[in-house]
Structure 1
Amino acid sequence: MRIVGAAWYALDAEHRKTAEANIRLALGLNEAEARRLTRENFRHLARVFSQFPRMARMTRENFRRFVEPRGEEHLLKSLERGRGVLILTGHFGNWEWMAYSAPFFLPARLNIVARPVRPPILNRWVTRLRERSGNRVIAKQYALLHTLKALKRNEMVGFLLDQNAGKKTGVWAPFFGGYVLTHKTLAHIALRTGAPVHPVFNHRLPDGRYRIDMGPQIPAPSHGTLEEKTAAMTAAFNRIMEEQIRRFPDQWYWVHRRFRRFRPQPPA
C-alpha cells in the first residue's frame, strides 16, 4: 500500500493540496513537514480503502484478528439504562472495520448515520457490505427520525462528526484554534432524549490490527438554554475529536475540506 499511497499522493493534486493546507492550518507545520505527513496520510487512507472489502471475512470467531476492543464496559453500563447509546466518532483509523466488528462484542445493534455514496449502484453495494455483520445504515437525511426509533429500541447510533455542516444544521464550535461549523444533531438528540454519548475511536497497531477505544459517557451541560447547551456539548465533541487527531495525526481524513469555513474568531 505504500506504493499505491505514494502514487495517489503524486497524481491527485486536488486532495493533496487540501490535505497539506488542512495540516498546516491545524497543526502549524511548515511546508516540508506538512508534505511528509500528507504522504503518510495518503498511505494510511490507501490501506483503509483497500481493506474495505476484506471486512466481509470478519466473523464472531475471528474478529480479534482484525480489531482489539477496549472499554466495552462503558457502553454496556449505559445500555443497561434502556435509553440506547449515542456514539461520537469520525473518519479515523479504519472506521469501517470498527463499525463492522461492533456486533461481535456488543449486545445491541449499531445504527450508522452515513451520507449515501454515489452513484446509487455503488451505494447499494457499500450498504449491503456495511450491514452484513448485523448493523444498519441510516441515510443522513433521515437521521433524526430513525435515531429516535433506534434509541427507543435501546440500540446504538453512531455519528461521524468530523464533516462540514451548513448554517442550518451546524453550530460554530472551537476546533484547532479557531471555529468551524459542526453538526449539532448529536448534541441536540442527546439533550432531548437523555441518551448517553460515548466517544469511540480506533487507531492502527504495529501488527496491522486496529484498537477500538470506547470511553466513558461525555457529561451533558446542566445549565443554559437548549441552544446554549447544544453549543457547549458540540464544543466538547470537537475537543475530543481534536485530541484524537493530535495523538495519531497520520490516521485522520485530512483530504476532506473540513476547514473550508474556518474562522479565527466565533462569528457574530
Structure 2
Amino acid sequence: MLVFFAKFISRIPFKAIYIISYFLYLFIFYLSKYRTGTVHKNLRQAFPEKSEKYISDVARQFYRHLSDLSLEVIKAHKMSAEEFKERCSILGADALEAVSKGRSRPVIVLTIHQGNWEWMLHAVSQHLGVPIDPVYKPLHHKGWDQFIHEIRSRFNSRPIPMKQAGRDILKRKDGFRLFVMLADQTPVEGERSYWVSYLNKEAPFYLGAEKIAFLTQYPVFFAQCRRLKRGYYELEFKELAVPPYENTRDKNNHQIIDAYVKAAEAAIYEQPETFLWSHRRWKRRRKSNE
C-alpha cells in the first residue's frame, strides 16, 4: 500500500507535492513529534554555544526540509533527465575530470545525508554524461527497498549493495565512473571502524571507502549538496585525496577519513537545517578494544 501511494505521488506536479509537504510537516513536527528528542539532542551537541532559540529554529527548518525531501525522493521516480539538470547545478566538475586522467579511471565520491542526495546522483549523471554507481545499504522493508532501488537505477546507474561494493569496484577499474558512498552511516556492531570526533562527539566511521581508495589508488572527492531554494540544489565537488597515497600498513593513517570528516562538518555548519539530524549517528559507544 505504501509503495502504491508513493508511485501515485511521483506522478503529481511539484506544486501539489509542496502543498502535501506542508501538511506532512505539520504532522511529523507537531502531531507525531517524529524523533524530536533525537533532533534536539544532536543539535545541542553540534552547537553547544548556540541559544535555545537557535536550536529550536534550526529544528523547525529541518522538519520543513525533511518533509520536502521525503516527497522529492518519491518524485524522483518519474522526474525526467531535464528536470534533474534544471533543479541541481554542479560545481567543481573540471577538477573531478582532471584527476581521472582524461576520463580514463574511476573516482570515489563520498557524501553525507544533506540536501537531496537522491537527486544529486542523477543530476551528476546528466550534467557529466557519466555512469553513477551508488553504494547503498538495503532497507528492511522489501517493497520500499525495491522502490528506492528503481529510483537509483535510472539513467544506467548501478546501485551496489554495501557488502558487494569492494569486490565490484575492484573488478571495474577501466573508464570514467563515479562510485558514490554515503559514508556517514554508522558501522554495524562488531565491524572494525575508525573512531573520530564528529560534531563534538566521538563517532565510528567505516574503513571500507578508505581501504578501496588505497588498494585502487583512485582519487577521492567530497560532494556537498546545498539547498538553494525549495526544489533546487547545488552540488559542489571538493578534492579530499589524490594518489599516490602513503603506506597503508600504518593503522593510525586515516588521511582520507580525517579529510572527509572535516569536509562533512564544514558542510553541516554551513547549512545545518538540511542535514539529517534525526539520524541516530552517535548511538554506539566505543568499546575498550576498538
TM, length-normalised to structure 1: 0.89
Shift of 1:191: 1.2
The aligned residue for residue 112 of structure 2 is 90
Would the alpha carbon gap of residues 81 and 53 (structure 1) be closer, same or farther in structure 2, given more than 3 Å must change? closer
Query: 1:193-247: per-residue Cα shift (whole Å, max 9, x none)?
Result: 1000011121111363100111235356635634222x33212211111110000
Query: 1:22-56: per-residue Cα shift (whole Å, max 9, x none)?
Result: 11111214444323211211110110111123224
Alignment check: 8 A CA contact 1:101 1:133 kept: no
3-state SS in 2 of match to 1:227: coil
3-state SS in 2 of match to 1:116: coil
Alignment check: 8 A CA contact 2:45 2:200 kept: no
TM, length-normalised to structure 2: 0.83
User: Does 1:53 pair with 2:53?
Assistant: no
Instruction: Describe how 1:155-174 pairs up with structure 2 within 5 A.
Output: 155-166=177-188, 167-174=190-197
Identity in percent: 23
User: Does 1:108 pair with 2:140?
Assistant: no
The aligned residue for residue 160 of structure 2 is 138
Alignment check: 8 A CA contact 2:240 2:256 kept: no
User: Does 1:44 pair with 2:65?
Assistant: yes
Distance 2:230 2:31 in 1: 29
Distance 2:84 2:173 in 1: 26
The aligned residue for residue 282 of structure 2 is 259
Query: 1:168-213: per-residue Cα shift (whole Å, max 9, x none)?
Result: 2421122123321011111111111100001112111136310011
- The AA in structure 2 aligned to 1:124 is Q
Distance 1:141 1:224 in 2: 22
3-state SS in 2 of match to 1:239: helix
The aligned residue for residue 7 of structure 2 is none
3-state SS in 1 of match to 2:280: coil
User: Does 1:236 pair with 2:256?
Assistant: no
Instruction: Describe how 1:1-268 pairs up with structure 2 within 5 A.
Output: 1-13=21-33, 15-28=35-48, 29-79=50-100, 80=102, 82-166=104-188, 167-206=190-229, 208-219=231-242, 222=246, 225-229=249-253, 231-261=254-284
Alignment check: 8 A CA contact 1:83 1:194 kept: no
Distance 2:159 2:149 in 1: 7
Distance 1:147 1:239 in 2: 25
Would the alpha carbon gap of residues 11 and 86 (structure 1) be closer, same or farther in structure 2, given more than 3 Å must change? same
Would the alpha carbon gap of residues 169 and 137 (structure 1) be closer, same or farther in structure 2, given more than 3 Å must change? farther
3-state SS in 1 of match to 2:159: strand
Distance 1:61 1:145 in 2: 33
Distance 2:84 2:59 in 1: 30
Shift of 1:89: 0.4
Alignment check: 8 A CA contact 2:114 2:276 kept: yes
Distance 1:151 1:162 in 2: 25
Would the alpha carbon gap of residues 248 and 255 (structure 1) be closer, same or farther in structure 2, given more than 3 Å must change? same
- The AA in structure 2 aligned to 1:200 is A
**251-260 vs 49-58, which deviates more?**
49-58
Would the alpha carbon gap of residues 227 and 213 (structure 1) be closer, same or farther in structure 2, given more than 3 Å must change? same
Segments of 5+ residues of structure 1 without an aligned counterpart are none
- The AA in structure 1 aligned to 2:25 is G
Segments of 5+ residues of structure 2 without an aligned counterpart are 1-20
Residues paired across the two proteins, number: 265
**83-92 vs 170-179, which deviates more?**
170-179
Distance 2:65 2:285 in 1: 25
Query: 1:107-128: per-residue Cα shift (whole Å, max 9, x none)?
Result: 3311111111232122112211
Distance 1:146 1:93 in 2: 27
Distance 1:151 1:12 in 2: 47
Alignment check: 8 A CA contact 1:172 1:267 kept: no
Distance 1:116 1:93 in 2: 21
Distance 1:121 1:208 in 2: 26
Alignment check: 8 A CA contact 1:114 1:139 kept: yes
Shift of 1:75: 1.6
